[in-house]
Structure 1
Amino acid sequence: MQIPVFIINGFLESGKTTFIKETLASEDFNDGSRSLVIACEDGEEEYNEKEMTALNVTVEMVEDAEELTKDFFVEASNRCKAERVFVEFNGMWKLDEFIDSLPNFMEVVQIITLVNAETYDMYLSNMRQVMMDQYKLTEMVIFNRCTKDSDRAAYRRSVKAVNTRAQVYFESSDGSSNEVNEILPFDISKDEIEIADEDFGLWYMDAMDNPDKYDNKIIKTKAVVYKPKQYAKKGMFAPGRFAMTCCVEDVRFIGFRCVCDDVTGKQLEGYRDRDFIMLTARAKSEFCKEYKGQGIVLYAMDIESASKPEDDLVYFN
């Protein structure tokens, strides 16, 4: 039987202990099942032994990442006959290495990253790479302790720049949740939308999050040609741009599936990978395996040569 593992990631004082305690006491989890909590750091909030015993929870403290071996997980789970595992992960450790160290009978079912909005800007300025690494594998990011001055839109973009599929939520200091409405630099009410060079990153994130918003819209944008081998015989290519998600050393290609007809297919033949084009295409919201779900598929209407932008990288702010 597979034991489900829930990983709660984040820096010290991001609210991980409180989050786990509240989750274990909730109706969904307070069902008598035996839970193992692996706490990888010791913060201000603590696990009360009496409360944990009442919830059928065993807590194991870990001070060093090297302690997290397969043998440790086997022994810890056997001691309490764990039916599920919660991990209060140390945000400074390597999450991918931790996941690789789990035994075969344990399966990660959810990764949630908690962020203290009060200290986020400081961490982003001083430890940007570590912060971005936390987002890469997470399914959900919760910014807590938000105030009226918290730049929710910028926080959301910083997550989506690394992981477009991550869900992002915001909680105020009183625990109430609230959403953010992104102000876009282009008019989505028009039937034809022209994307400026500097706005490609914002459009990409919004289109991946809200594909239905762009369904049947005509999109005109400057893009880099990329012809994956698997597209070669299908009359398709992947127009996109190279984006800087964290620093100059962390650049990746972002793009969309684009389908050509006979005319645009002929036009595409004149271009090689990394050539810049001006693409006019109709967007359709479709299920696509490349996106692992619903996303924008472009249907090329015209492909023209285009000059390289002054800055050929795109950004997410």
Structure 2
Amino acid sequence: MGKVYFVNGFLDAGKTSFIQDLFEESYFKIDGVTLLIVCEEGEVEYDDYLLEKMGVVVRYIEDEEDFTPEHIEELEKAVKPARVVVEFNGMWMRKDLSFPWYWNDIMEIAVINGKTFELYAANMKSLLSEQVRNAYMAVVNNCTGLEDKLSYFRRNLKAVNTGLNIVFKDDERDDIVIRFEDDLPYDLNADVVDVDNDSFSVFYLDSLDNLDRYVGKTIRFTAQVMKSRGKTRQSFLAGRYAMTCCEDDLSLFGIICDYDDLDSLENGSWVSVTGLVEKEYMDKYKVDFPVCKVSGLKAADKPEREVINVV
């Protein structure tokens, strides 16, 4: 079985247009049949001529309970596709899905309407989070006139999936090229970069995404001491919990802190950490991580909002 492209998003996000654009790309052409499984029909309809030209066979699944491995296998047996593209229904829960056992190469793509992002983030947080949690890429459409909000969109999406690749597009579906370096709630040029309680999530996510601009900077922030068992180095995790979906779905945002007097720290206590940020390669994850070399540490009050609230 070839690659499976799983495209998720709410109605009117632009899923159909995105998929049709994919079919027209030269790099997306293949020999053989593509099975397109459509789970909802929006205002934009597929171009029958284009689909026939590209060797695409469309099948519809209208009810959530019919999206099962068994039913999908029946569709595949009848069509015998070289690959599968799924236009999923954004109102169905992604986390409840089961796929055919042989779908071992799935690329998930979330398509989002920039003009309704804040509405869905406020009122359908769990569904939006599930759309991006396992996605490789998010395409945020209709962002003309929203340039000043894109960094906010980006931070909130990254809070759910730190490895997410995000593409912003204008109302004509052309890419918006934008840099986010200067849009930070603290001064990176200060002798000591003060990260207040409301900015910790920004610091954590941006340090993962743009680590090099933090290396060599002295940072000060408040977090909770989280010691690990069987430690192999004198370090602790300075962490905050973030609510990315609901109260039962918390993610840990934590910075590794090297500290010589580790035994003096009480696990679970809140501290103000001052230290120099360095870069360290984590072989287990094949990626560079920020490490804080602690130069100052003192007890701190628990923040008024202990849990960071993101998308």
Superposition TM-score, scaled by structure 1 size: 0.88
Contact kept, 8 Å, 1:152 with 1:180, in 2: the verdict is no
Instruction: Please give the alpha-carbon distance, in whole angstroms, between the structure 1 residues aligned to 2:49 and 2:41.
Output: 18
Question: 1-side partners of 2:16 and 2:224: how far apart?
Answer: 45
In structure 2, distance between residues paired with 1:109 and 1:247: 26
- Equivalences for 1:91-240 in 2 at 5 Å? 91-98=90-97, 101-149=98-146, 151-178=149-176, 179-181=178-180, 183-190=183-190, 192-230=192-230, 232-240=231-239
Task: Compute the displacement of 1:315 (Å).
Answer: 4.5
Q: Is the 8 A contact 2:137 2:166 kept in 1?
A: yes
Q: Deviations over 1:200-249 (max 9, x none)?
A: 1111111111111111222222111001225x233222111122334555
Q: How many residue pairs align between the two structures? A: 308
Question: Would the alpha carbon gap of residues 292 and 12 (structure 1) be closer, same or farther in structure 2, given more than 3 Å must change?
Answer: farther
AA of the residue aligned to 1:120: F
Aligned to 1:77: 76
CA contact (8 A) 2:95 2:130 kept: no
Contact 2:93 2:127 in 1 (8 A): no
| Equivalent pair of 1:129/1:246 in contact (CA under 8 Å) | yes
2:78 alignment partner, SS class: helix
Amino acid across the alignment from 1:94: M
Moved more, 139-148 or 294-303: 294-303
Aligned to 2:26: 27
Q: Alignment identity in percent?
A: 31
Aligned partners of 1:238 and 1:257 also within 8 Å: yes
Is 1:14 the counterpart of 2:13? The answer is: yes
Q: 1:257 to 1:290 in 2, by over 3 A?
A: farther
CA distance in 1, matches of 2:218, 2:115: 41
Unaligned runs of 5+ in 1: none
* 2:268 alignment partner in structure 1: 274
Q: From the superposition, tell whether residues 142 and 61 of structure 1 become closer, same or farther in structure 2 (CA, over 3 Å).
A: same
The CA deviation at 1:289 is 5.2
Amino acid at match of 1:112: I
TM-score normalised by L of structure 2 = 0.90
CA distance in 2, matches of 1:217, 1:49: 56
Q: What's the RMSD between the two structures over aligned residues?
A: 2.2
Three-state SS of the structure 1 residue aligned to 2:264 is coil
Q: 1:44 corresponds to which residue? A: 43
Task: Provide the C-alpha distance between the structure 1 equivalents of 2:159 and 2:7, rounded to a whole number of angstroms.
Answer: 21
SS of alignment partner, residue 27 of structure 2: coil
Cα 1:306–1:118 change in 2 (3 A) is closer
- The aligned amino acid for 1:166 is L
What do residues 126-154 of structure 1 show as CA deviations (whole Å, max 9, x unaligned)?
22222122221112111111121452122
For residue 58 of structure 1, what is the aligned residue in structure 2? 57
The 3 A distance-change label for structure 1 pair 174 and 258 is same
Q: Who is 2:306 aligned against? A: 312
Amino acid at match of 2:60: M
The CA distance in 1 between the partners of 2:308 and 2:284, in whole Å, is 21
> 1:291 deviation in Å?
5.7
Contact 1:3/1:105 (CA < 8 Å) preserved in 2? Answer: no
Q: How big is the shift at 1:9? A: 0.7
